[in-house]
Amino acid sequence: MECRLESAVSQDDEGWYVEIKMPYSSLRFPSANDQDWHVQFGEKYVGLETSCWSPIDPTVSGWVQQSGR
């Protein structure tokens, strides 16, 4: 199955904005009635810094489990 993402970026005086469209079928999740979804967004300035929406503690192994709810 092919996952086709679409995105658009814009900027104004208050900052940058991104809109991302992805097929629901490309998400993997359990077939439970109650689910706890996590997501992480980040940006990387080459050679400068990386920032994330939900803070990442570098002393904790792995970043996926540190994603926001």
Q: Any idea where the domains of the chain sit in the sequence?
A: 37-69
**pTM of the predicted protein model:** 0.49
Beta bridge partners of 20: 7
In sequence order, which ranges of the chain are alpha helices (DSSP H)? none
Beta strand pairing call for 6-12 and 15-21: antiparallel
Residue entry with tokens 């967004």: 41
Per-residue pLDDT of the chain (69 residues; tens, 9 = 90+): 566 778 899 999 998 888 988 887 777 777 888 888 878 877 777 777 777 778 888 898 887 788 887
Alpha-carbon dihedral sign for residues 39, 69, 52, 17: positive
